[in-house]
Amino acid sequence: MFYSVVVPTFSRRDEVAELLASLESQQNKNFEVIIADGSLDDSVKRVTDQYQDKLSLKHLYKKGLGISESRNWGVEHAIGDYVIFFDSDCVIPPQYFKVAEDYLAVEPLDAYGGPDKASEDFSIKQKAISYAMTSFFTTGGIRGRKGHIGQYQPRSFNMGIRRNIFISLGGFSGLKVSEDIDLSMRLYRNGYRVGLIEQAYVFHKRRSTFYKFFRQVFSFGSGRIDLQLRHGNALKPVHTLPSLFVLYLVTGIVISLFSKTLFLIGLASLVFYASAILIDATMQNRSILVGLISVYASFIMLTGYGLGMIKAALMRFIFQSKKESEKPEITRY
């Protein structure tokens, strides 16, 4: 089977360089790479030019192109049986394509997803953000595991799909946020075989600052409401947990004005929760410093996602706004 790797990017030359280096090191070479570039200058092209003799590589350029449009455009130029989407801030382990091919040979799937992990050489902040996005304690554990809650939904940072099926579904639909979940839901609705390949993981570097991380997860929470309005079954109880966390914090602040005892009980529960995150993150990363920062990152993830969902729910359900969510400029790529 031949694969087409499609990567959207926007002025992320260093990320693209690292991603291409990891693709050059793959054990299986049965793939082409398509960089769909919406940058404002030629910085990414200068990187891709260095890999033209090392990879089967196409560089597509259109100034200011959006992320979903970039992916759809990349597929238009793809020749692979399977299209694999990676984000530009991912590093691909050398066994990735061998693992995926071996799995698909035994259990053919129309589309699949794989987990994301933190590499040993990630910074402390990157490891903490990765933990916040993948831990059971932050609801991130519902992604990338066979024992997750509900129907597994591949995400576009690590997602494979048969090219003919992607085209038949019209590609990414135009949602600015959670467009990958929208595609996953359409795959299920049309009866296609979708699954998780646990060992086909990528190292996902994510955002460089906690401010950008907050803005990103805020948009994710907002996007969940858009999905619910489009599909009618996208909002599950587990998705409301971050919003409940925010309401719990607000309630605790209000209660502190009236009852010191109830406030201390609430504070103790938060300390217990933070301790559980600290212990789990420390054990996973073998670093108490990563564990401490993971507590901070986890609280950012929960409050950001929760606030985004609460705001979107108010705007869409109460004020009847028709405007769908958008990624903030700083997190668009």
Q: What digits encode the pLDDT tens for the residues 4-31?
A: 999 999 888 999 999 999 999 999 999 9
Verify that 198 and 219 share a domain, yes or no.
no
Residues 4 and 71: beta-carbon distance below 8 Å = no
Q: Which residue has the tokens 């793809």?
A: 78
pTM over 0.95: no
**303 and 201 within one domain:** no
Helix H or strand E encompassing 263: helix 260-285
Q: Is residue 58 domain-shared with residue 150, that is, in the same domain?
A: yes
pLDDT at 3 over 50: yes
Tokens of 99: 């693992």
**pLDDT above 80 (res 141):** no
The answer on 62 and 160 residing in a single domain is yes
Containing 36, the helix (H) or strand (E) segment is strand 31-37
- Domain span at 309: 214-331
At residue 179, does pLDDT exceed 50?
yes
- Same domain? For 21 and 130 the reply is yes
| Residue 272 identity (one-letter amino acid) | F
pLDDT for 174 equals 82
Same domain, 224 and 147: no
Report, as an integer, the average pLDDT of 307-323. 96
Residue where one domain finishes, among candidates 207, 238, 263:
207
Q: Two tokens at 144?
A: 């990338």
Nearest to 330 by CA among 220, 225, 203, 213: 213
Which token pair is 295? 């507590």
Provide CB contacts within 8 A for 92, sequence distance 6+: 19, 22, 23, 26, 86, 202, 203
The pLDDT value given to residue 143: 57
The C-alpha angle with vertex 21 and arms to 17 and 26, in degrees rounded to 5, equals: 150
DSSP structure string for 163-188: HHHHHHTTSS-S-SSSHHHHHHHHHH
| CATH number, position 128 | 3.90.550.10
Q: Which pLDDT tens digit goes with each residue over 269-306?
A: 999 999 999 999 999 999 999 999 999 999 999 999 99
Among 158, 176, 207, give the residue marking a domain's end: 207
Give per-residue pLDDT as tens, 97-127. Answer: 999 999 999 999 999 999 999 999 999 999 9
* pLDDT score for 67: 87
Residue ending a domain, choose from 207, 223, 245 = 207
325 and 187 together in one domain: no
More confident residue, 182 or 328: 182
- 96 and 33 belong to one structural domain: yes
pLDDT band at residue 333, thresholds of 50, 70 and 90? very low
How far, in Å, are 48, 110, 264, 289 from residue 292 at the CA level?
A: 38, 41, 22, 5
Instruction: Give me the chain's average pLDDT, please.
Output: 93
Q: Which bin fits 150, alpha (ψ -120 to 50), beta or left (φ > 0)?
A: left
Same domain, 140 and 261: no
**Residues of the chain with pLDDT > 70: what percent?**
95
Q: pLDDT tens digits for 223-276? A: 999 999 999 999 989 899 999 999 999 999 999 999 999 999 999 999 999 999
Q: What is the DSSP letter of 139?
A: T
Q: Can you name the residues that pair with 61 across neighbouring β-strands? A: 37
Same domain assignment for residues 127 and 170: yes
Q: Quick one: 164 and 253 in the same domain?
A: no
Q: How many domains does the chain have?
A: 2
Structure tokens that stand for 64 in this block: 């200011």
Return the pLDDT at 331. 46
Question: Both 198 and 163 in a single domain?
Answer: yes
Q: What is the pLDDT of residue 54?
A: 96
Task: Count CA atoms within 13 Å of residue 33 on its CB side.
Answer: 30
DSSP E strands in 87-223: the ranges are: 90-91, 111-113, 116-117, 158-162, 194-196, 202-204
Give 28's contacts (C-beta < 8 A, 6+ positions apart): 97, 98, 101
Closest CA to 59 of 43, 80, 79, 37: 37
Which residues make beta-bridge pairs with 32?
A: 4
Amino acid identity of residue 300, one-letter, is I
